[in-house]
Amino acid sequence: MQLYNTLTRQKEEFKQISDPVRMYVCGVTTYDEPHLGHALATVIFEVLQSYMQYRGINVKRVQNFTDVDDKIIDRAAENGVDWFDLTQEHVDSFFEAMDGLNVKRADVHPRVTEEIDHIVALIGELVNSGAAYEAGGSVYYRVRRNEQYGKLSGRTVDGVAELARLEPDLLKENPEDFALWKAWKPGEPSWESPWGPGRPGWHIECSAMARRYLGDQVDIHGGGLDLVFPHHENEVAQSESATGVVPFARFWVHNGLLRMGGDQKMSKSLGNFVTVRDALKTYSTDAIRMWVFQSHYRSPATYDVENLVAAERAVRRLRQAAEAVNAGIGTGEAYDADHVRQRFVEAMDDDLNTPRALAAIFDLAREIFTEQAKGSDISDAQATLRELVGVLGLTLEEPDSNDTTDDAKIEELIEKRQSARQDRDYTTADQIRDQLAEMGVEIMDTPQGTTWRRA
């Protein structure tokens, strides 16, 4: 199996040197509901684990929660709630959302607040070796002492220093140094440490959790492309300075980002996100997962109603093939679908090429209908179809219409369509009509307004 390695900037053969394979994936910061961008990243690395296990490779996947952070503290203050209650609410909402997307839990889901002792110990090692220093109750990493700094992202230390000068910190020896431990401020949560009360910096958290649960080196470290710098670059620096094991991660695997219209990244901070909860009101679990896999994981994905409607239609086609009446069982010649399995494996072995893997699956669906018409025994082909979509986490179960379509959502879409028509944006209006049709909703435009009914 080949995977693209951000560290070497090329596809490389993945060779298993540990059992299980050690995979660490950067998880969410728990200050808001999970959105489709979080779903994209989580589903991709879940399927990487699923496919490797399908190929007989054991994998231990660790995916963390950042449950103390500036954003969490700020949001809790805005909402007038306790920061811990806020994080617990959104840890729960993350699991609820991922369950709704049929995502298998990671083997370990560590939380920063439960790993403070291990984080403090790792910082202590860096201070004792001279790789880090204390200043004003905070601890900073000495970037210029690491001659390898920048090897993951391609950044130069001088370039990083220029960026850091935009937000000066007079306690630092050099502007490019980054915080491992942040001294306590009034109103913020804190823990005791040899340097005084405070809380961990973002980057050291993942180094400590990866080390605790996977050891000094991981085989695969995953995350979104937006984490390459500074987060993952700083993880490399910290971990390799502390352990002396190089590389910290053998493979760095990064997924492309989810974008809204206008090429803008979907994110909480921009306030332009679609929550998983809302998406599941309109689209089935299988359709959302299908939409994820229609793009290669390293390419940006675009949130688009038309794409999701097409994914729903595609899932329906596969479901029909899987449930097609097998008139030839016991009488017709059995149809061998092993060649499709081989195509699927070749595609997934090529840097998890899910678009090519789906092409093989849809070819199999077409062959099922063709062989059914000939009177062939299609039971093996149907079993192969379910086997392959199962690797991708698709169930092909008929969605409960009560779960995927509610009256409030229908009314909301009709209002958006009406606004689009008033603005003469007929393309959007037609897309919404198609979306409603896929939801099993028929709309009628009358002089008195738009009415609807379930078809």
Chain centre distance of CA 4: 17
Yes or no: domain 305-391 corresponds to CATH 1.20.120.640: yes
Topology agreement, domain 16-259 and domain 305-391: no
- What DSSP letter does each residue of 146-201 carry, written as one string? -TTTTTTT---HHHHHHHHTTS--TTSSSTT-EEEEEE--TTS--B--TT-SEEE-
Per-residue confidence of the chain (455 residues) as pLDDT tens digits? 999 999 999 999 999 999 999 999 999 999 999 999 999 999 999 999 999 999 999 999 999 999 999 999 999 999 999 999 999 999 999 999 999 999 999 999 999 999 999 999 999 999 999 999 999 999 999 999 999 999 999 999 998 988 777 677 889 999 999 999 999 999 999 999 999 999 999 999 999 999 999 999 999 999 999 999 999 999 999 999 999 999 999 999 999 999 876 556 666 556 667 999 999 998 999 999 999 999 999 999 998 888 898 999 999 999 999 998 887 777 778 888 999 999 999 999 999 999 999 999 999 999 999 998 888 999 999 999 999 999 999 999 987 654 445 677 888 899 899 999 999 999 999 999 888 888 878 787 766 578 676 65
Residue 407 main-chain phi, psi, to 5 deg:
-60, -40
Give per-residue pLDDT as tens, 157-187: 998 988 777 677 889 999 999 999 999 999 9
**Closest alpha carbon to 436 in 424, 454, 449:** 454
* Rounded-to-integer distance, Cα 442 and Cα 251, Å: 49
The CATH architecture annotation of domain 16-259 reads 3-Layer(aba) Sandwich (3.40)
Residue 131 corresponds to which amino acid?
A
Q: Strand pairing partners for 255? A: 224
Query: For the chain, percent helix, then strand, then coil, each to nearest 5?
Result: 50, 15, 35
CB 204 within 8 A of CB 212: no
Hunting for tokens 């077409």 — which residue is that? 366
- What does the domain layout of the chain look like in residue ranges? 16-259, 305-391, 405-454
Which residues 6+ apart lie within 8 Å of 41 measured at CB? 25, 222, 223, 224, 255
The residue ranges of DSSP E strands in 314-436, in sequence order, are none
